[in-house]
């Protein structure tokens, strides 16, 4: 029995000594920046010690350096092909394997520990994910966003991890995988509620598309609790949409005031649209007038003012139709002959005409303009008809 024990001890010592000697060679190569040579030594180490945590940890460090080696080559020549394209993924897998074999495994001097190494990989994984996303390589984007999220989670960087889940959700949206799109958005919010207002916006419109008004309200209420009075401007539009949809005029007007107070010119036409749809024509007109005074050739503002008057005109005509349907002939006649209707019609025409002179290719503006010309018994230019017909064929 003692003889067998001595043999096993001797075997362990020899294997351990071999692995340490081998790892020392790899370590020396890495310290002297001989990365490809370190890789060759590492292959021998791994072949002889496939279940050694220290070997796997060194393998991970070699892979990190192989990635850096490729990056340095690319900085010198952007067109160079990477020699080790899977170095990052291999490094991550090796770090994980090292911890599986020994959660207390220690690195050699100057090398990365297993947890530290995984945290280090988060940034490069995110970079690869965004490149893949931009190139529409969606499966690769999913893989790298997922790895980046895991690394950020390990580093306790919840905000960063949440942003990776949001990015992952948007990839699923591109893939039309709405189930995973929703799951990743909810995971983003659960991981770090204040990390990304974009997740709340995406969830709101997702719930709205699903006709789930209750969830629409819940996600906005949660956002308000998280961000409080400092709610990001990105949340203002879904809030306006929700309050308009549910008929909460008081809150709609309050959010409009907040949005305008930001001084962001992009919010003006958005606010105006919701005000017009809520039949707050005068308030919509006021904010548009102020903006147009500063930007008299802005097509969006000009066309939105035309929209404001057109909606008032349609509103009057709807009320007239209701009166006719209920045989209130005098009321129907009054509405049709009212100065209010004539003024709305004329103003809609004039503002849409000004917008047309800035941009004659917008289908919505052109349609309103043509209709107002017809109602006012004005000539409809052939060019206007041609532009509408051409755009209609494209729709």
pLDDT digits (tens, 9 = 90+) for 141-185: 999 999 999 999 888 899 999 999 999 999 999 999 999 999 999
Whether 247 and 259 share a structural domain: yes
* Cα(199)–Cα(181) distance, integer angstroms: 11
Residues 6+ apart with CB under 8 A from 360: 366, 383, 384, 387
In a domain, 370, yes or no: yes
In a domain, 62, yes or no: no
Whether 324 and 393 share a structural domain: yes
Residues 6+ apart with CB under 8 A from 278: 244, 249, 252
**Closest by alpha carbon to 162, among 199, 207, 124?**
199
Which of 264, 295, 326 is the last residue before a domain boundary? 295
Whether 344 and 390 share a structural domain: yes
Whether 302 and 291 share a structural domain: no
* Cα(145)–Cα(166) distance, integer angstroms: 9
In a domain, 373, yes or no: yes
Which of 295, 320, 335 is the last residue before a domain boundary? 295
In a domain, 58, yes or no: no
Which of 295, 323, 342 is the last residue before a domain boundary? 295
In a domain, 324, yes or no: yes
Q: Which two tokens stand for residue 160?
A: 């960063």
Structural domain including 315 reads: 298-395
Whether 354 and 277 share a structural domain: no
Whether 280 and 249 share a structural domain: yes
Whether 312 and 323 share a structural domain: yes
Give pTM, 2 decimals: 0.74
Whether 325 and 388 share a structural domain: yes
**CA–CA distances in Å: residue 98 to residues 38, 58, 173:** 18, 9, 36
**pLDDT 10s digit of each residue in the chain, 395 long?**
444 433 333 333 333 444 567 888 888 888 888 888 888 888 888 888 888 999 999 999 999 999 988 889 989 998 989 899 899 999 999 988 998 999 889 988 888 888 888 888 999 999 999 999 999 999 999 999 999 999 998 888 999 999 999 999 999 999 999 999 999 999 999 999 988 888 999 999 999 999 999 999 999 999 988 887 666 788 899 999 999 989 899 999 999 999 999 888 999 999 999 999 989 999 999 999 999 999 999 999 999 999 999 999 999 999 999 999 999 999 999 999 999 999 999 999 999 999 999 999 999 999 999 999 999 999 999 999 999 998 887 76
Residues 6+ apart with CB under 8 A from 364: 303, 307
Whether 262 and 349 share a structural domain: no
Whether 245 and 311 share a structural domain: no
Whether 386 and 331 share a structural domain: yes
* Cα(163)–Cα(149) distance, integer angstroms: 8
Whether 312 and 388 share a structural domain: yes
* Cα(300)–Cα(199) distance, integer angstroms: 28
In a domain, 336, yes or no: yes
Q: How many domains does the chain have?
A: 2
């Amino acid at each position: 029995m003692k003889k067998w024990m001595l043999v096993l001890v001797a075997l362990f010592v020899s294997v351990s000594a071999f692995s340490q000697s081998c790892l020392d060679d790899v370590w020396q190569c890495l310290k002297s920046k001989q990365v490809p040579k370190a890789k060759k030594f590492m292959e021998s180490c791994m072949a002889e010690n496939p279940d050694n945590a220290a070997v796997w940890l060194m393998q991970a460090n070699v892979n990190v350096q192989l990635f850096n080696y490729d990056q340095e080559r690319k900085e010198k020549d952007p067109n160079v092909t990477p020699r080790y394209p899977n170095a990052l993924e291999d490094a991550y897998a090796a770090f994980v394997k090292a911890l599986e074999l020994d959660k207390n495994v220690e690195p050699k001097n100057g090398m990365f520990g297993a947890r530290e190494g995984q945290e280090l990989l988060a940034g490069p994984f995110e970079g690869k994910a965004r490149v893949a996303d931009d190139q529409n390589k969606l499966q690769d984007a999913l893989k790298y966003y997922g790895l980046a999220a895991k690394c950020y989670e390990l580093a306790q960087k919840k905000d960063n991890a949440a942003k990776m889940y949001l990015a992952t959700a948007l990839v699923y949206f591109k893939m039309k995988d709405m189930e995973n799109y929703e799951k990743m958005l909810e995971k983003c919010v659960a991981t770090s509620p204040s990390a990304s207002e974009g997740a709340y916006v995406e969830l709101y419109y997702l719930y709205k598309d699903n006709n789930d008004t209750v969830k629409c309200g819940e996600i906005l209420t949660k956002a308000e609790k998280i961000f409080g009075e400092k709610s990001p401007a990105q949340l203002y539009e879904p809030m306006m949409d929700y309050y308009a949809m549910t008929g909460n005029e008081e809150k709609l007007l309050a959010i409009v005031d907040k949005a305008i107070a930001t001084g962001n010119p992009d919010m003006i036409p958005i606010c105006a649209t919701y005000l017009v749809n809520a039949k707050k024509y005068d308030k919509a007109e006021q904010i548009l007038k102020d903006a147009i005074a500063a930007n008299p050739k802005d097509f969006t503002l000009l066309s939105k003012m035309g929209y404001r008057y057109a909606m008032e005109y349609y509103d009057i005509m709807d009320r007239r139709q209701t009166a006719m349907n209920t045989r209130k002939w005098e009321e129907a006649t009054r509405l049709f002959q009212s100065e209010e209707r004539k003024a709305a019609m004329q103003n809609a025409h004039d503002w849409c005409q000004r917008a047309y002179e800035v941009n004659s290719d917008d289908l919505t503006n052109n349609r309103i303009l043509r209709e107002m010309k017809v109602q006012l018994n004005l000539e409809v230019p052939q060019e206007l008809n041609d532009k509408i017909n051409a755009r209609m064929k494209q729709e």
